[in-house]
Amino acid sequence: MKDFIRILLVTSDDQYQAWFDEAHLVYVLQRVLPGVTIEFDRVSNPSVTCPRSPHVLLLHHQPAEPSSTQRLADVAGRWPDVPILGLFAAEHGRRPQLVNGVPTELNDFVLCPVDGDELALRIGRIFIAGRNSTPYGIGRAQRVRIESLVGESLIFQAQVEKIPLFADVDATVLLQGETGTGKEVFARAIHYSSARKDHAFIPINCAALPDQLFENELFGHVKGAYTSAASEQGGLVLEAEGGTLFLDEVDALNPYAQAKLLRFVQYREYRPLGCSRTKLANVRIIAASNHDLRQAVTERQFREDLFHRLNVLAMVVPPLRERVEDIPLLADRFLQRFRRADGQGPRRLSEDAIQKLIAYAWPGNVRELESTLQRAVVMCGSATIQAQDIECAGEAPKTPCLDGSLRAAKTSATMDVERAYLVKTLVTFRGNVTHAAKAAGKERRSFQRLLRKYGIDREAYQNDPTGSSRDCPPPFETPFDGRA
């Protein structure tokens, strides 16, 4: 690999710093590509200004600017062998193949305003792999096909999009999210999409390890290391050699274990108990936490230096209540999985059953939904699961997060209600914004602003997952009075 990478941004927007943070991009790239020197140039007209040939081209496409299309074609023609990454306005990013004038050689694209972390990962991926022969290198064909990664919501797909990016580099990953959201599923997806896929994926539940056994379980011991050590035993690090070590609930480690883990994460060096020699491990580390580690650092419950070592690449797996539009898809997947081996049992969920699932808070997230559907399949005596067949734990009402100030709790509760209402209305009217806005008592434009606010894609509801009629009444009796 080259020991330096030259990046060229081509844009005529003098205010580009409003949507592009050059310093942050360089900082993240230095972590993604350790030991590689980063050189960055920006030009508005490369035909006049002649910088040195870049290794990666960033082309800012502005559809409203007449000369933009020609500039893209000129740049692509000037450096035909240089990987190209397009920067698109958000409204054009969903279907880039329809944007006139985009070079067919385009390797990848991101949306503006640019997420510096995501862009750095994509640049690193292109730089490492070289030019991909398929346009739009992060296309659906390259995404991981993991059965458990079910969901079409924007907030969920934003995390799924990171899997091939994280898989193509070997940096440490920190997954954060509530219990039951599927952090280990994402960790496995990253591992089995990476070059380490033919080696072991070793999960460790840090919360289940007694404090005095952490070193022994992780690093192993030699014969005679302690009284009952009758023979040499390799630890989990040795089992994961060449593969991935998944540290689940890493926030549960005590200060001593955190200190031991810090050196291992930083240098991949360890010493089995009783051994006088240091060993070097060839493993990738993915860590997960149910709690906000940054907050734990603030509260002095977690080492700041260890947090930064783990948080090279970050992913936050959203709770189920923030992606309720995925509940019908997940429920159907679980229903098909738990049907009897002879094909007998319920085949679908009724609309009332779907609505009951959507209305519930799911404190246990996807794991709780899975258990609930398995129980419903057993209890249901017909071909269709009805609402009464679904027993949610305690039938608890959907409650907002009560942490923090009263104002924060009220804001959280309001946002939960608004989002749930929007999703239910779109489900009822199969993604028809005009009908949904009318039922909500809002102007169409105001309703669309709310959809954008919560990252809800109406197209996900155009094929009604509940089988309901277009002429169904609105899901609530009173108009929606949320504020845009």
Reported as a single tens digit per residue, the pLDDT across 297-313 is 999 999 999 999 999 99
Q: Which of helix, strand or coil describes residue 85?
A: strand
- Domain 4-142 and domain 329-395, same fold? Reply is no
Q: What is the dihedral of CA 257, 259, 265, 269, to 10 degrees?
A: -90
Q: At what angle do helices 327-338 and 351-359 cross, to 10 degrees?
A: 120
Q: What are phi and psi of 399, to 5 degrees?
A: -115, 145
CATH number of 154-316: 3.40.50.300
> Structural domain boundaries of the chain?
4-142, 154-316, 329-395, 409-484
Say whether pLDDT at 227 is over 80: no
CATH architecture type of domain 329-395: Orthogonal Bundle (1.10)
How far is residue 295's CA from residue 312's CA, in Å, rounded to a whole number?
17
How many of the other CB atoms lie within 10 Å of CB of 238?
Answer: 17
Percent with pLDDT over 90 in the chain: 24
Residues 297, 304: contact at Cβ < 8 Å?
yes
Segments in 35-102 forming alpha helices (H):
68-78, 90-93
- Does residue 39 register a pLDDT over 90? no
Q: Sort residue 468 into left (φ over 0), alpha (ψ -120 to 50) or beta.
A: beta
CATH superfamily to which 4-142 belongs: Response regulator (3.40.50.2300)
Query: What does the alpha-carbon distance between residue 55 and residue 4 come to, in Å, rounded to a whole number?
Result: 9
Stretch among 3-7, 114-118, 341-345, 378-382 having the lowest mean pLDDT: 341-345
Which range (22-31, 155-164, 470-479) has the least confidence?
470-479
What is the C-alpha to C-alpha distance for residues 359 and 361, in angstroms, rounded to an integer?
A: 7
